[in-house]
Structure 1
Amino acid sequence: MPNLVGDVSSAARILPDLKGEKLFIRNGKGAYLWDDKGRRYIDTALGFGAVLLGHSNDAVNAAVSQALSDSAAPSWAHVREHGAATDLAKHTGELSKVIFTNSGSEAVHLACRAARAYTGRGKIAKMAAGFDGWFDDVSYGNVTSKEATFQDGQRPSTERTTLLRFNDFDDVERLFAEDNDIAAVVLEPMLANAGCIMALPGYLKHVQAIAHQHGALVICDEVLMGFRLYPGLAGLREGLNPDIASVGKAIGNGVPVSAVVAKPHILAGFEEGRVIRGGTFSGNPMACAAVTSTLSQLDNSDYEHLISRGNTLREAIEAIFKAHDLIVTTSGYGNVFGIWLGAVAPMTYEQAEKIANPAFTQALHLALREAGVLIMPSPYGRLYISFEHNNRVIEEIKTAFEQAADALSGTFANA
């Protein structure tokens, strides 16, 4: 009997068997992963968005290796932490104060603590079907949960968390009319973990305006989208003025690291010791080395061409399926997008729930895996591309989609 629960330590890693075989990854480099049998795959999960420079980036690996050699856990303040915080803050505008943490979930948790401490209020409002980490408070109302859909006047809520409908302009006004204990609203630039549902024009600014009008803070959850569209926060690019942001994933290119960034007055309680924080491995030397090396490379990376390559791939995927009598559409950005079986991408979670097709997505995952491409098997999953996904790799992905569309056309045609 295996000792590892369900074969994995994170449920997101669970994949269906292919011809009776489980997938175990041995190593990765650039755009590729190799399994324990030596088979090569193009990776489009990319550490669920963490690997933006490509797997096993030489410069990041060298910096982390040096930090590990110097001391993995020196306990006290060390020479890399201030530099990494300065490098990060150069990219986050007025959110100039930094606390490093270890995971995106932990960063969101600490951001929520900061909001509660600063406002003296108890509740955090999050987007229904949004994923802001797996800790109890913010995992409430996650995608596919029964709480993620609700009618007016029946808002799901706990003592510490309440929900908002994404892209519903009126619902945020109703929220503050119903509840005066909201410390902060957690915003994502798009509802990424619900299949890359894009925000309607003006929606994010509307939520921010209503929250600030009622004395609540705005937390931008940038763990997934931060540094993916350009070297900075996606919310700032959308014209938002958040009070706090959680960042992670891409800032370390796969090395476990995340952070809370905020306006100085918001985090003053932590600096003065009035609000608790901790974490043996928070801001450890390897994480800080990864941040410094990763950000220096992202500053010199061609995001415009990366996103253009991804948009070319999106268009090709839609055209390939159409040629096989299957209509699919994509939603998101060039370097992170979802695939939907149908002609119209959803703009709300309620729409997404109706068109989500787990059978199609799992069949597509298996067909692509057989063709040498790894994608998430969930209907709410995403495809990522990294800076190592060059034109040749994109062409390889297109070829795999040709094979997959041909294999699926008989089963899902005219669906």
Structure 2
Amino acid sequence: MKHLIGGISSAGRALPEINGQAFSVARSHGPWLWGNDGERYLDTAMGFGATMLGHAHPAVVDAICRAASNGLMPSFAHGLEEQAAASLASFTGPLSQVVFVNTGSEAVHLACRVARAATGRQQVAKFAAGYDGWFDAVAFGNAGSAAAAMAGPRPQQNGMWLLRYNDFDDAERLFQDCPELAAVVVEPVLANAGCVAPAPGYLKHLCEVAHRHGALVILDEVLMGFRLQAGLSGHLLGADADIATVGKAIGSGMPVAAVVGKPEVMAVLTDGRANRAGTYNGAPPACAAVIATLEQLRHQDYPALLAAGDATRARIAQAFAEHGQSVCSSGYGSVFTFWQGSVVPQTYQQAAACADQGWTERLHAALRGQQVLSMPFAFGRAYLTFAHGAAELERLVEGYRAAALSLA
């Protein structure tokens, strides 16, 4: 009898068996994974975006080990915590106050608590098909759920309301339905619904509407933070947020996340209006990982990565076309989703209409045969990092070309 439920502690990490063989990872480094089958695989899942530097970056691993050697949990304040906070705040503009937690789900939970305390309101809105963590309230309306389709009256549950992404008018209607919202939580890119990008001016419009009605804006940057630039993707795309949550890329795979916010909003955490706690929040190894990671990202060439990624996904689409198949991609050069057809989804409704789990699983199996690992979910993503050099990107294109041939 196996004791680990489902063979994995997070359901999203399970991969399908192929030819009756289960897959597990023996080790990872750079853009590569080594499986229990002895093969080396080019990775495009990259810890679901948990690194921009590649697996086990030497500078980050060294910093974590040095911090751990001085003690994992000192109970009280330590110097690395403020150093990590100052480093993070140097990338987040007016969101200059920082609280560290361990996971993105915790960060969103705390951000909502801050917003409720700051506004005196209790209701919160999130986007249909957006993924903002696995806690009960924000797990409402995830991609694939009945609520995400928004087929009838505006869905709401336990104080959480849904609205349509990229629908300018629905942002106005939201406040007619619920005028006393504390905050709107928004992924700058609807990444977990297949990398649906914001329409020009949409994030700016959303923030203006929310602020006009006295609500705060929470940017959920757990996935997109530090993926399009060294900082928040929402800032790059026009958002004026009051609070943001970050994680994944800031720690290169260490369990660390953070809430960053404007000083006047985050004051509720120091004046007693909102509480925070967590034994492992801001632990020395996590803070060391943040400091080392951000120092590396500060000097990386984001425009070059995005350009190389855009060229790569265009070449992959061309490889499918050469075998008589129409494929397009949504997203950006460092994170994107492939779809059958030639029309890139602009909304969740469009993405849901062209999502094909069977095709995605067949593609995943074909890529596995080429020693390329992809996410086997219809709304999954491919992540490219600074560890994916020219040789790895060429290998990726060839792997997809061979997969396209096998699917033709």
Give the alignment's TM-score, normalised by structure 2: 0.99
Kindly provide the CA deviation profile for residues 25-62 of structure 1, in whole angstroms up to 9, marking residues without a partner as x: 01011110001232100000001001110111000000
Partner Cα separation in structure 2 for residue 349 and residue 339 of structure 1: 14
Per the TM alignment, residue 324 of structure 1 is displaced from its structure 2 partner at its CA by 0.6
Per the TM alignment, residue 239 of structure 1 is displaced from its structure 2 partner at its CA by 2.6
Equivalent residue number for residue 150 of structure 2: 150
Equivalent residue number for residue 253 of structure 2: 254
Partner Cα separation in structure 1 for residue 349 and residue 238 of structure 2: 27
Equivalent residue number for residue 81 of structure 2: 81
Partner Cα separation in structure 2 for residue 65 and residue 242 of structure 1: 35
Letter in 1 for 2:23: L
Equivalent residue number for residue 40 of structure 1: 40
CA-based RMSD of the aligned residues comes to 0.9
Equivalent residue number for residue 164 of structure 1: 163
Q: Is the 8 A contact 2:123 2:183 kept in 1?
A: yes
Tell me if 1:344 matches 2:343.
yes
Equivalent residue number for residue 333 of structure 1: 332
Letter in 2 for 1:231: A
Equivalent residue number for residue 100 of structure 1: 100
Equivalent residue number for residue 13 of structure 1: 13
| Pairs within 5 Å for 1:132-143 | 132-143=132-143
Q: Is the 8 A contact 2:137 2:158 kept in 1?
A: no
Kindly provide the CA deviation profile for residues 10-31 of structure 1, in whole angstroms up to 9, marking residues without a partner as x: 0111111111111110101111
Partner Cα separation in structure 2 for residue 274 and residue 135 of structure 1: 22
The SS at the match of 1:124 is: strand
Equivalent residue number for residue 382 of structure 2: 383
Kindly provide the CA deviation profile for residues 76-126 of structure 1, in whole angstroms up to 9, marking residues without a partner as x: 001100000000000000000000010111111100110011111111100
Q: Is the 8 A contact 2:96 2:260 kept in 1?
A: yes
Partner Cα separation in structure 2 for residue 282 and residue 149 of structure 1: 36
Equivalent residue number for residue 72 of structure 1: 72
| Pairs within 5 Å for 1:260-339 | 260-339=259-338
Per the TM alignment, residue 184 of structure 1 is displaced from its structure 2 partner at its CA by 0.3
The SS at the match of 1:41 is: strand
Gaps of 5+ in 1: 410-415
The SS at the match of 1:19 is: coil
Partner Cα separation in structure 2 for residue 344 and residue 241 of structure 1: 30
Equivalent residue number for residue 413 of structure 1: none
Partner Cα separation in structure 2 for residue 155 and residue 14 of structure 1: 33
What count of residue pairs does the alignment treat as equivalent? 408
Partner Cα separation in structure 1 for residue 336 and residue 238 of structure 2: 22
Partner Cα separation in structure 2 for residue 200 and residue 37 of structure 1: 44
Per the TM alignment, residue 151 of structure 1 is displaced from its structure 2 partner at its CA by 3.6
The SS at the match of 2:278 is: coil
Partner Cα separation in structure 2 for residue 38 and residue 159 of structure 1: 48
Equivalent residue number for residue 117 of structure 1: 117
Per the TM alignment, residue 185 of structure 1 is displaced from its structure 2 partner at its CA by 0.4
Equivalent residue number for residue 187 of structure 2: 188
Letter in 1 for 2:351: A
Partner Cα separation in structure 2 for residue 406 and residue 287 of structure 1: 44
Q: Which moved more, 1:191-200 or 1:269-278?
A: 269-278
Letter in 2 for 1:194: A
Equivalent residue number for residue 4 of structure 2: 4
Per the TM alignment, residue 371 of structure 1 is displaced from its structure 2 partner at its CA by 0.5
Equivalent residue number for residue 174 of structure 1: 173
Equivalent residue number for residue 57 of structure 1: 57
Partner Cα separation in structure 1 for residue 299 and residue 362 of structure 2: 38
Letter in 2 for 1:135: F
Q: Which moved more, 1:240-249 or 1:268-277?
A: 268-277
Kindly provide the CA deviation profile for residues 350-390 of structure 1, in whole angstroms up to 9, marking residues without a partner as x: 11111101111000001101110111011100000111100
Equivalent residue number for residue 393 of structure 1: 392
The SS at the match of 1:197 is: coil
- Percent sequence identity over aligned pairs: 51
Partner Cα separation in structure 2 for residue 47 and residue 210 of structure 1: 35
Letter in 1 for 2:254: V
Kindly provide the CA deviation profile for residues 122-146 of structure 1, in whole angstroms up to 9, marking residues without a partner as x: 1110000000111101000000011
Letter in 2 for 1:39: E
Kindly provide the CA deviation profile for residues 229-282 of structure 1, in whole angstroms up to 9, marking residues without a partner as x: 111001111232110000010001111110000001111121223311101111
Letter in 1 for 2:82: H
Letter in 1 for 2:148: A
Partner Cα separation in structure 2 for residue 233 and residue 198 of structure 1: 15
Partner Cα separation in structure 1 for residue 294 and residue 403 of structure 2: 36
Where has structure 1 moved over 6 Å in runs of 4 or more? none
The SS at the match of 1:265 is: helix
Gaps of 5+ in 2: none
